[in-house]
Structure 1
Amino acid sequence: MRVGEDAAGNLRRVGELAGRTALVTGASRGLGRAIAAGLAGAGAHVIGMARDAEALSAAVDAYGGVALPHDLADVDGIAARVDGLEVDVLVNAAAVMSSRRSKTLDASLDEWRDVRAVDLDAPFALVSALVPGMARRRWGRVVNLSACLGRMSGPGTAGGLAPYRVAKAGLNALTRNLAHELALGRRGVLVDATCPGHCRTDMGGPDAPRSVEQGADTALWLALRDSTLSDPVPTGRLWEDRAEVPW
């Protein structure tokens, strides 16, 4: 039986995160909303962050969370927005896609910066603001929603979508680097990335092969894993469907 599951292989959710606070970006829709709802179902006090205040308010009302509207493209404003929060679980789910034709030599500098701001710089700003508190309290979970397009090996690495691919590759590198700096779980903080796959979200489109629930499952599993300081579970990895995949 794997950690975070019952004997039937289902996530143990009810009460798992009682007393914990989770912050989820992109929590107004899609994968972010599904993950936020799952964390709330596990007993966490969920803070949802997204740029659309109206949609975010409706979403957090549905899963019993608190809305913290913010446009993650405003990276410089993130630290002040989360100042004073003690967060135990950080899920960086928000992302923007580059133009479908944005090859490296075709992408504009503005597009490059716009994608990087949300997909890489904002997660870094949130990590910088919130993870020191996790380390002091000796418990935390950081889950970064990456993409198979950001891998250096495997399918889908043949170019195109340059700003998005490179930003997700950077998010993978941030994940691995931070996990090692936090002693791979021996300071109580697990840091991992997950590829949710091509899901039926606004970004993935209605014909994508995977449901939102399938895409959110591994992120929830990572957030719910049990671990100890002396014998931490594997961390600093890239996961897909609860299995490690190469970077």
Structure 2
Amino acid sequence: MEGADAGNLGPVTHELTGRTALVTGASRGLGRAIAAGLAGAGATVIGMARDPDALQEAVASFGGRALPHDLADVDGIAARVDGLDVDVLVNAAAVMSAPRSKTLDASLAQWRDVRAVDLDAPFALIHALVPGMAKRRWGRVVNLSACLGRLTGPGTAGGLAPYRVAKAGLNALTRNLAHELALGRRGVLVDATCPGHCRTDMGGPDAPRSIGQGADTALWLATRDSSPSDPAPTGRLWEDRAEVPW
């Protein structure tokens, strides 16, 4: 992967042949690794990212389709994905707060810029694509959260306020939607995962985890077996394939 170690992806548990997946942030890092893994599981993958050239290069490497879009343009998302039947949605794109962005220091513009990509764009994609999943009674929504968005452990302990709060909101969106979809009994699983501090452009070259390690749980969530009559555990926050507290 560009600028970072891809690592090794764990095995998927369910083939996705005949399914369509849309992955945001697919031009690099975790999004690209997840998109490639889903393609390897048989899915037709649509990659979404703002840089059309980088996105085209990425999707060419795993045989996907490029759908360039700047996720900061939240109002344009619905039109961009109109007419798509998507079975797997992975919200992997994110932007980080400025280093000195405590609650009382961050500007309203900074707050809105981070929230647009990290929370509002996932909502817009869910709003556009998940009704079709529920109608077809099969779907997977995987939201890439962050340990910094947890209300326990390393969560809201100060600093990076726009990013932490947006990720906490993404966690709440995940849980709320999962319950609205009857915790898998309508055929759609909705989960969040903390990939950890990975060697991506955001995490830097000295981060302790590889991109493959960070992407593994998202791929596992997207490929789990489940049925409306016997749904897999869902509406949860996962790290390294294990549930962790919100």
Give TM class, smaller chain. over 0.9
Deviations 1:200-234 (A, max 9, x none): 00000000000000000000000000001111010
Structure 1 unmatched runs, 5+ = 1-9
State the shift of 1:155 in Å: 2.4
Look up the match of 1:4.
none
Look up the match of 1:213.
212
TM-score by length of 2: 0.95
1:15-94, aligned counterparts within 5 Å? 16-94=15-93
Q: Distance in 1 between matches of 2:229 and 2:15?
A: 21
Q: Distance in 1 between matches of 2:182 and 2:106?
A: 37
Q: Distance in 2 between matches of 1:132 and 1:94?
A: 21
Deviations 1:28-60 (A, max 9, x none): 000000000000000000000000000000000
State the shift of 1:156 in Å: 4.5
State the shift of 1:158 in Å: 1.3
Aligned-residue sequence identity (percent) comes to 87
1:22-171, aligned counterparts within 5 Å? 22-171=21-170
State the shift of 1:90 in Å: 0.1
State the shift of 1:111 in Å: 0.2
* Secondary structure at the counterpart of residue 229 of structure 1: coil
* Distance of aligned partners of 1:109 and 1:87 in 2 relative to their CA distance in 1, 3 Å threshold: same
Q: Distance in 2 between matches of 1:12 and 1:208?
A: 25
Q: Distance in 2 between matches of 1:48 and 1:156?
A: 30
Does the 8 A contact of 2:178 with 2:189 survive in 1?
Answer: yes
Q: State the superposition RMSD in angstroms.
A: 0.9
Instruction: Identify the structure with bigger relative contact order (alpha carbons < 8 Å, sequence gap 6+).
Output: 2
Q: Distance in 1 between matches of 2:24 and 2:215?
A: 13
Q: Distance in 2 between matches of 1:229 and 1:104?
A: 42
Deviations 1:112-168 (A, max 9, x none): 000000000000000000000000000000000000000000125311000000000
